[in-house]
Amino acid sequence: MTGLTVAERIIVHLGRFIGHCDEYSAPVDVSQNGISQAVRISRAHAAIELKKLKETGMVTEGLAHIKGSRQRRKVYNLTSAGMSRAEQIRNFAEEEGIDVSSLLDLARCDPVVFWDSLTEDERSVFTLACVFRGPFDPAVIGETGLRLVPVDDDGRAWVPENMREAVPTLADPAALRECHSRAADECLRTKDYRGRLHHLARAGRLREAAMLISSKGEELLKVADATLNDDLALLTDVPERHRPRVWELQARVAMSTSDWSRCRDMITSVSGSGDQCTALLLEGEMLSREGRLEEALEALDEAKEMMGSPSVELHCRMAEVLCGLGRHEDSLTMLQEVLRESAGAGSLDRADLLLYQMGRSLLNGGRPEEAIKTISKGMSLAPPEDRRGWHRIMGEAYQAAGMQDRAAEHFRLGR
């Protein structure tokens, strides 16, 4: 980027806040954090440059309360020499046709004007920064990137939303795909599988995206949203061996976002692959979510007949549908039978799931005290990091039992 040095940008930035500071309070813009973000350098880099400016008599350092904070922090003001230098820099920038606003406050810049001010190398680095959807390791973009991109209080680089939305439309499509490819590799290093799928899909690395779904599908389903649905829609030509698993996840994510048309299309694809049982399970879940409970139960019953050994998950789904139909006792009886059979076979891996659904059946059937006992047993088997849902249903049970204080405590833990 042709323009001003870092020191000159700091001086121009501070020149906009003359008279805005006093001995008690100051805007965050004149703190080290505010300066580093405005000039788009790391805090460490800002500290070095400010030290040099102090030594040359351009700025003074003091302590003040930052507005909105109770803490006192270092703040910086221009000296009279600094103010004169700021005026000289502004005049020079005007004569040279340098847009000072594009060098400061990235969030306020016009994306097109800023893009036009970059060299080809800077555009490549800045495009890479823009494809990340949140803060990222600044080492990814190197020193060139740190001249362009702000760094937050945790030392993470970030790009304002206006730039993230605009730059991909300005960048060369091939360069953009390469940036997504590099971001996908960074997400693999940090074990950010959701981000990796997003970038693999946009980099055109569909085989790796399909392999990721095969290995991390359940993790991805836990963070299903409309953006994930859009990412999965890009996976239109994955290797044949991965297609059923990809189609299944596409159906489930579409279902969770109420994209019923896409969900039906994916279920049809699963059925066409020959996996009728999975297709019926998906259809049953979809019909249940749509409130078509009788049809859902028929589909799940048919899937149960096709399965050599029906899963705990299937029985719990059926129990949920039965409860929806008001058949609470039928739901409870079925789950108790499955629990006995599992215990007899020495297989209680999903006993927590069975007990959760049993507690739900008891609660919906108007038996909250029994529900509390059952849910307590299940909660003791559930992983500690996955108990928010348990606390919520326990709160409902205590509320139904008239024990409001206990209910409030569980609702708090379930937030």
Query: Is residue 2 predicted with pLDDT exceeding 60?
Result: no
Whether residue 108 is predicted with pLDDT greater than 50 in this model: the reply is: yes
pLDDT in tens, 38-55: 787 777 888 999 999 999
30 falls in which pLDDT band (50, 70, 90)?
confident
310-316 contacts, C-beta under 8 A, 24 or more apart: 312/338, 312/342, 312/350, 312/353, 312/354, 313/350, 313/353, 314/281, 315/354, 316/353, 316/354, 316/356, 316/357
Strand partners, 31: 75
Cβ neighbours of residue 377 under 8 Å, at least 6 residues apart? 355
Range 57-76 average pLDDT = 83
Q: State mean pLDDT over 280-291.
A: 94
- Which is higher by pLDDT, 199 or 90? 199
- pLDDT reported for residue 125: 93
pLDDT band, residue 94 (cuts 50/70/90): confident
Structure tokens at 246: 């990809």
pTM summary value:
0.71
Weakest mean pLDDT among 108-112, 174-178, 353-357: 108-112
Tell whether the model's pLDDT for residue 318 goes beyond 90.
yes
- φ, ψ dihedrals at 224, nearest 5°: -65, 135
Average pLDDT of the chain is: 88
Pick the range with the lowest mean pLDDT from 70-79, 260-269, 275-284.
70-79
Q: What per-residue confidence (pLDDT) applies to 34?
A: 82
Question: What's the confidence (pLDDT) of residue 221?
Answer: 92
pLDDT at 29: 82
Q: Please, which residues bridge with residue 322 across strands?
A: none
Query: pLDDT at position 22, please?
Result: 57
* Domains along the chain with CATH numbers: 1-104 (1.10.10.10), 310-415 (1.25.40.10)
Q: Where are the beta strands (DSSP E) in 3-122?
A: 25-26, 59-66, 72-78
Distance in angstroms (rounded) separating the CA atoms of residues 208 and 22: 57
Averaged pLDDT, 167-193: 96
Q: Evaluate if residue 81 carries a pLDDT over 80.
A: yes
Helix (H, G, I), strand (E, B) or coil at 233: helix
Tell me the sheet residues that pair with 26: 66
Least confident of 11-25, 30-44, 378-392, 393-407: 11-25
